[in-house]
């Protein structure tokens, strides 16, 4: 087993790091742990507008990121330890037990009463502490999972709590489930996230994995992939499947509605009601606009409706 | 000769999957082993490779559609 060291906490860099190893690592038995600064991470084919409260995320300085694997939206912070495994695919379909069971057994040896539940979760007393997802391509499988150790669960619930009601769309929905932190279920005393990570590494690998660091050249290629893919609006928002939006709310004392259709993250047609004054002007400015939060904010501000953008996504 | 691409059954219990992305446009040729579309089921994105050389024909499923195992998703010309 090869353990690639990744000390970065940059969510976009970490997505690129994983994709780079999946495509380029020569080994068929790769493991590593990694942690992100606060970020909501959406599944490859999800609608981030629908799954994430984007104005609330931006307000808290939380990054919104799209990953390469399937599944739903998760919240990461430095109290959440992610593990990634890269291996040769055995058969074409999902095989979660192969990667999840060793983690459950390692947690159990640490005295933590974790269990493998549902299709690809790890739970403690019915509460989820880990979700996982995979990508299978070219005969290889990328498996990764979260481990909520000491995450701010208030932020998790506020930002990634399932699809918002005003979106109507095809595609992959998140499936929220009650969660808990592993730290609350330790057999005795407490330990830091770093100590937990180290203890889990010892249990998972028997302390025998060969630790490797990537070269400066490889890290610079990963940095480029992060910039050219994971940090772009086109990847995170532009790949969103077509959807329609309808929301009714109170705006300056009047019942107001916003309805639009979007394709590839671009507003195709939009109707704001009541169609009068500033809203009529704003409607014209919004048609054909890319759903870029900062752009929506600027256009609404210029039309004399600051704050209106938070009702549009 | 015209042929059909069908939603594959990747595991015994699999009944359907979401056709997430076409990697080839109608009219585009592909070689055996080349990835031609992606599906998602059980939080796994699966890149599906061509079993034969061919040319992508009319696509019967749109990106985002949930498709039953065995249902035709595209026509191909060999």
Architecture of domain A243-311: 2-Layer Sandwich (3.30)
Residue of B nearest to A131 (CA): B43
A198-247: per-residue pLDDT in tens? Answer: 999 999 999 889 999 999 999 999 999 999 999 999 999 999 989 999 99
pLDDT (tens place) for every residue of chain A, 313 residues total: 999 999 999 999 999 999 999 999 988 899 999 999 999 999 999 999 999 999 999 999 999 999 999 999 999 999 999 999 999 998 777 889 999 999 999 999 999 999 999 999 999 999 999 999 999 999 999 999 999 999 999 999 999 877 788 999 888 889 889 999 999 999 988 999 999 999 999 999 998 899 999 999 999 999 999 999 999 999 999 999 899 999 999 999 999 999 999 999 999 999 999 988 899 999 999 999 999 999 999 999 999 999 999 999 9
pLDDT of residue A162: 78
Asked if the Cβ–Cβ distance from A93 to B18 is below 8 Å, we say no
Asked whether this complex has an ipTM greater than 0.85, the answer is yes
Q: Which domains does chain B have, with CATH numbers?
A: 2-77 (2.40.50.100)
Residues of B in contact with A241 (CB under 8 A): 63-64
Q: State the DSSP string of A204-237.
A: HHTT-PEEE---HHHHHHHHHHIIIIITSHHHHT
* Domain chopping of chain A, boundaries: 2-236, 243-311
CATH class of domain segment(s) A2-236: alpha beta
Asked if the Cβ–Cβ distance from B45 to A119 is below 8 Å, we say no
Nearest Cα residue to B42 out of A241, A71, A46, A146: A71
Asked if the Cβ–Cβ distance from A69 to B43 is below 8 Å, we say yes
Residues written for chain B: 78
pLDDT of residue B2: 78
Please list the residues that pair with B39 across neighbouring strands. B19, B46
């Amino acid at each position: 087993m090869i353990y690639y060291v990744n000390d970065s906490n940059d969510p976009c860099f970490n997505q690129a790091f994983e994709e780079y190893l999946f495509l380029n690592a020569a080994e068929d038995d790769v493991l590593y742990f990694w942690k992100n600064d606060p970020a909501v991470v959406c599944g490859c084919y999800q609608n981030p507008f629908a799954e994430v409260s984007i104005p609330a995320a931006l307000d808290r300085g939380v990054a919104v990121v799209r990953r390469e694997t399937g599944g739903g939206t998760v919240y990461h912070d430095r109290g959440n330890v992610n593990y990634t495994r890269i291996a040769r695919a055995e058969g074409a379909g999902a095989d979660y037990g192969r990667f999840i069971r060793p983690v459950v057994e390692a947690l159990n040896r640490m005295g933590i009463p974790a269990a493998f539940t549902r299709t690809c979760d790890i739970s403690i007393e019915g509460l989820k502490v880990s979700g996982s997802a995979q990508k299978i391509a070219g005969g290889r499988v990328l498996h990764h999972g979260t481990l909520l150790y000491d995450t701010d669960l208030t932020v998790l619930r506020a930002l990634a709590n399932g699809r918002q009601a005003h979106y109507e769309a095809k595609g992959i929905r998140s499936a929220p489930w009650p969660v808990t932190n592993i730290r609350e279920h330790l057999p005795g005393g407490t330990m830091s996230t770093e100590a937990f990570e180290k203890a889990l590494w010892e249990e998972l690998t028997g302390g025998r994995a060969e630790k490797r660091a990537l070269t400066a050249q490889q890290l610079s290629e990963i940095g480029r992939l992060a910039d050219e893919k994971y940090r772009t609006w086109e990847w995170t928002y532009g790949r969103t499947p077509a959807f329609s939006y309808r929301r009714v709310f109170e705006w300056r004392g009047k019942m107001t509605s916003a309805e639009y259709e979007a394709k590839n993250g671009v507003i195709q047609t939009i109707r704001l009601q009541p169609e009068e004054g500033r809203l009529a002007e704003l409607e014209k400015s919004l048609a054909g606009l890319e759903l870029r939060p900062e752009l929506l904010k600027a256009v609404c501000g210029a039309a004399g409706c600051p704050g209106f953008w938070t009702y549009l996504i | 000769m015209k042929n059909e691409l069908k939603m594959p059954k990747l595991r015994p219990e699999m009944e359907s999957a979401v056709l997430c992305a076409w990697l080839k446009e109608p009219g585009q040729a592909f070689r055996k082993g080349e990835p031609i579309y992606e599906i998602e089921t059980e939080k796994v994105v699966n890149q599906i490779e061509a079993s034969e050389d061919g040319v992508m024909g009319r696509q019967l499923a749109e990106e985002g559609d949930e498709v039953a195992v065995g249902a035709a998703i595209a026509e191909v010309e060999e």
